[in-house]
Amino acid sequence: MATTSRKDSLTYAIVGTGAVGGLYGACLQKAGHTVHFLAHSDAEYIAQHGLEVESPWGDISLPQVHVYSRTNDMPACDVVCVCLKSTMNHLLPRLLPPLLHPGTVILLMQNGLGAEEEMAALFPSALVAGGLCYVASNKAGPGHIRHIGEGNVLLGAHSNGMQDLINRIRSDFTAAGVPCTVDPSLFDARWRKLVWNIPYNGLSVVLNVETDRIMAHPSSRALVADIMKEVVLGNHACGGTIEEGYIAELMAVTDRLKPYSPSMKLDYEAARPLEVEYIHRRPVAAARAAGFEMARVEALAAELEFLDAQRRGEFAADRKTLNN
C-alpha cells in the first residue's frame, strides 16, 4: 500500500509509540494516513532509523516517520490515539492540549474503566471514544515492535453525536488491515474486557504464573470463575447487560491460549507500576456506588498494591519517612 498521505483523510496522533501505538500507528501510516508519533526513550532512534514492525499481518518498515519527544512540537490532529498505560494518565492534562482542535477525537486505547469520563470533563470541546485492543504485541527494542497475534480493535463512542466519526475511524483501521468493529455500548464493552482482565491480570501477578497454570489447577480455576461472576454482577448493578454465559465463553477461550503472560505480569516483572487503579479499583468503586460490593476484586486489588509497592522498593522509602 502507498505511504503518501491522502488529503481527504483523517490525521492521527499516536501518544505512546509502544507495543500498541507503534503497531496501529504503523498500519495507519502504511495505509496512507498522516500519523504523528509521540515517543519517549527511543524518539531520537526512530527519527534516525524509522519504525519497524514484525507482524503476522505482514512486516512493516517505515524509514521516515513524524516522531516527537514533546507534544508541544506536534500539530493538532483529527484523532488522538492515547496508547499509554493508564498509570500515566495523570500526564494527559499536560500532554494532550497541543494535539487538540475543536472536534478532535480522543481515542483511549487503554485497559480499565473511567478514563473516558475524565477526558470528557477535562476537554469539553473534544469528542471522546474508547478503543479496546485485543492484541498480543510487545516492544522488542528501540523503534521495533513485535506483533505476536490477534489485534482486533473494538471502538465505542463516549460523546454524543460522533457516530459518523467513529465509523470513519473504523473504516480507516479496517482499510489499514486492522480488524475493527464498533460496539453500540462502550460501557458494556469496557466491562466485558474487565471480566477477563480483572482475574487473569491480577492472579498472574499474585500467583506468579501464566494463564495456562491458572487454568490447570482446580482451585485457581474456580477462583477465576468466582471473580468473573462478581465482575458480571458488578456490571449488572451498574445497569449493564453482560450475560452470565459470557464467563464460560471466556474461560474456554483462555483454555485454548498458549501459555500467556498478561500485561500486568509483564509490568510487574519489569518493576513498572501496575494498572490496579483503572482495572481493579475503579470497577469496585462503580459497583459500590450502585450498592454492590465486589469483595473478591477488592481483596485482589489490595494484594496487587502490596506486591507493586514491594517490587518497586517503595516500602524502604515509606519506612524511612516513618522513622524520621
Query: Is 193 one of the annotated active-site residues of the chain?
Result: yes
E strand segments, 90-143:
105-108, 127-141
- The Cα-based distances of 231 to 87, 146, 194, 234 in angstroms read 22, 32, 7, 5
Cell digits of residue 266: 509483564
Q: How many residues in total does the chain contain?
A: 324
- Nearest in space to 19 (alpha carbons), one of 177, 151, 143, 145: 145
3/127 Cα distance (integer angstroms): 27
Q: CA angle at residue 76 from 159 to 144, to 5 degrees?
A: 95
Catalytic residue among 85, 193, 229, 265: 193
Closest C-alpha among 53, 98, 47 to residue 73: 98
DSSP reduced 3-state for 19: coil
Q: Are strands 12-15 and 66-68 parallel, antiparallel or unpaired?
A: unpaired
Half-sphere exposure of 267 (CA within 13 A, CB side): 20
Rounded CA separation 15/115 (Å) = 15
Q: With b meaning 16 or more CB within 10 Å and e meaning fewer, what string describes 83-122? A: bbbbbbbeebeebbebbbeeebbbbbbbbbbbbbeebeee
Residues annotated catalytic, as ranges: 193
